[in-house]
Amino acid sequence: MRNKRTMSLAALSIGALMLSACGSAGGTSDSDSAASSGSDENLASTITIAISQAPTAYNGNTAATNAVYNGYVDNLTSSAFVSYSPSGTLEQNTDFGSYEKTSDDPLTIEYTINDDAVWSDGTPIDYDDVLLSWAAMSGTHPTGEEDEETGEEADLFQASSTNGFSQMQMIEGEPGDKEFEVVFDKPYADWEALFTTGTFMPAHIAAEQGGLSADGDGAALVDAIQNDDRDALTPVAEFWNTGWAYEADLPSLPDTALLPSSGPYKLDNAVNGTLTVVRNEDYWGEERAGQTETMVFRTVVDEEAVQALQNGDVDIIDPSSPTVDTKTALEQIGDTVTVDTGQSFTFSHIDLDQRPGAVFEDLRVRQAFAACIPKADMVDKFVTPVDPEGSVLNLREYQPSHDDYQTVLDGAPAAQGDGVADIERARSLLEEAGKTEPVPVSMMFASTSQLRADQVALVKNSCDQAGFEITPQPEAEWSAKLPQPGAWDAVIFGWSGSGLVASGQSIYVTDGEQNFGGYTNDEVDSLWDDIATSTDSEQVVPLKTELEQALADTQYNVVLYANPSLAGYTSDLQGVELNPTQSGITWNAYTWTKQN
């Protein structure tokens, strides 16, 4: 086995964008480049990538599909103006186009899409695709009806987040335009990250499936959006919301004619959770052109990943939350496998349903639950055996590896603690809340994750002693249940961060699309408004220090630890480099090659 040196991460503010059952790949390491030595004439035609869960949708921008492994596929099949690099910064994709900020007041950006940019079915990528993304992600089409799952006013488009897009004026343009201007009503700190990989969906497909003509460069859809024609937009939005979803466990793909690619690879087929993409011969770019003919995503549960690698069933594994057993097993394989380790921006946490009438509506009950959680034990059992630098996490927008972590923590005393379960304090808080009987808590987790099952068992063993009655709730479709009020009392999962300033806003603000527990706090809402609209980087740390104090003081949720990351792959595979952001291990998979 060849180990690679772990490098430190850049000091960046975490923003949680995508959810995962156990976390996602991350960290940075030295890596062979795609141009490593080896005979180009002896390259394999196929590389197989193990993923912990099957992709759930072609469109990963909805509240139900905003998941890590959809993004893993998007890295190959989707293009946009920027993507996330291993340093946590944004990397421009000049294959796709270019952009320039032309004004700060109002914030204005000029974008240009490459003249040659086309969907894999030959349709130009242009203004109608951009306008559909704005319409879907801006939250500007309320229906006036109550969402059955959230209880809030529903929008035609069920976007995972409206961060940034809701501050954006409707993007002006004409059908077929390759150039467009974005103007913000209010500045948005992370404006540069809005048009990233996976954001743009094929408007011509949505239009046709919604009963509109796609002729004239999407003129009918453009007209419907510009004139806010709700009757015309309703079936388009319904398709955008659900029409690109896959069946559970991905037994097959929908008609691939509905799934055109804008990236170096295109979707080809799926069988029993195994998804195959092939090189997109109509891809116009050079820097991101696919180097290997076929890439296969094979769903393999973490517990079987090492064996799959050793058997040659897969070429690379990226366990969603690696354990010491994973690391040990990889070490025993020998020199035929390379192992990279590092830290990720992903962090594990427990969210709480605190709507009126819910178990955790009372702050004292939330505080009691937080007090009995054995966070330090979890770190000892599940983190430090893989990453010796791992520690209890006390903040939500920063991690211990970030330079500003201790500064923010020092300024947020409510967030401080050693993570050791305090049973007596938990009991006292429940007594103050008037709880004389055990408090029942149904705790949801991904049924495919043994790690999460083990963690819930630890919580039950500890918190049952304090006056709770924890009932484990394993769910195969756990992410689909997140936005459903009453479907769970507590849920354990991971947020996959991006290194941005404001991307976590929708998780914490009142009625935020990713605020699944119904948390509401006026101070937090106000602070997020200041953070999201700040263009002064020096103000971010003090503002987020106040935010962390408020979130901890009101016990928004229970943060546990920053997930360690580990990737193991055949030593014949070249070009692999860990990425701590939500992009994960496949961020540059289009460069990968493998020697036969």
Residues 223, 355 within the same domain: no
DSSP-derived letter for residue 476 is T
Which residues, including other chains, have CB under 8 Å from residue 103's CB and lie 6 or more apart?
none
As for how many domains the chain has, the answer is 2
Which residues, including other chains, have CB under 8 Å from residue 582's CB and lie 6 or more apart?
17, 18, 24, 68, 71, 84, 345, 346, 496, 497, 498
**Which pLDDT score, from 0 to 100, does residue 576 have?**
96
Residues 372, 516 within the same domain: yes
Question: Which of 432, 400, 441 minimizes the C-alpha distance to 419?
Answer: 400
* Strands annotated E in 508-572: 557-570
Residue 555 located in a structural domain = yes
222 Rama class: left (phi>0) / alpha (psi -120 to 50) / beta: alpha
Do 575 and 441 meet the contact criterion of CB atoms below 8 Å apart? no
Can you say how many angstroms the Cα of residue 109 is from the centroid of all Cα atoms in its chain?
Answer: 25
Residue 190 located in a structural domain = yes
* Residue 493, both tokens: 């999962």
363-372 vs 450-466: helix crossing angle, rounded to 10: 110
Residues 229, 364 within the same domain: no
Residue 447 located in a structural domain = yes
Residue that finishes a domain, picked among 235, 250, 279: 235
Name residue 490's beta-bridge partners. Answer: 352, 443
Strands 439-446, 468-475: pairing kind: parallel
CATH of the domain at 133: 3.90.76.10
Residues 400, 542 within the same domain: yes
Question: Which of 558, 319, 353, 330 minimizes the C-alpha distance to 451?
Answer: 319
Do 140 and 166 meet the contact criterion of CB atoms below 8 Å apart? yes
* Residue 385, both tokens: 């055996």
Residue 590 located in a structural domain = no
Can you say how many angstroms the Cα of residue 522 is from the centroid of all Cα atoms in its chain?
Answer: 26
75-108 as b/e: b if 16+ CB within 10 A: bbbbbbbbbbbbbbebeebebbbebeeeeeeebb
Residues 394, 536 within the same domain: yes
Residue 536 located in a structural domain = yes
Residue 57 located in a structural domain = no
Residue 506: give the domain boundaries. 346-563
Residue 559 located in a structural domain = yes
Q: What is the pLDDT along the chain (596 residues), one digit of tens a residue?
A: 333 322 222 223 333 345 545 433 223 233 333 333 445 679 999 999 999 999 999 999 998 898 889 999 999 999 999 998 887 788 999 999 999 999 999 999 999 999 999 999 999 999 999 999 999 999 999 988 876 655 667 899 999 888 899 999 999 999 999 999 999 999 998 899 999 999 999 999 999 999 999 999 999 999 999 999 999 999 999 999 999 999 999 999 999 999 999 999 999 999 999 999 999 999 999 999 999 999 999 999 888 999 999 999 999 999 877 888 898 999 999 999 999 887 778 899 999 999 999 999 999 999 999 999 999 999 999 998 888 888 999 999 988 877 789 999 999 999 999 999 999 999 999 999 999 999 999 999 999 888 899 999 999 999 999 999 999 999 998 988 999 999 999 999 988 766 688 878 889 999 988 899 999 999 999 999 999 988 777 899 999 999 999 999 999 999 999 888 899 999 999 999 998 888 889 999 999 999 98
How much is the pTM? 0.78
* Alpha carbons 322 and 303: distance in angstroms, whole number: 9
Residue that finishes a domain, picked among 219, 235, 251: 235
Residue 467 located in a structural domain = yes
Residues 364, 221 within the same domain: no
Residue that finishes a domain, picked among 186, 216, 235: 235
CATH of the domain at 426: 3.10.105.10
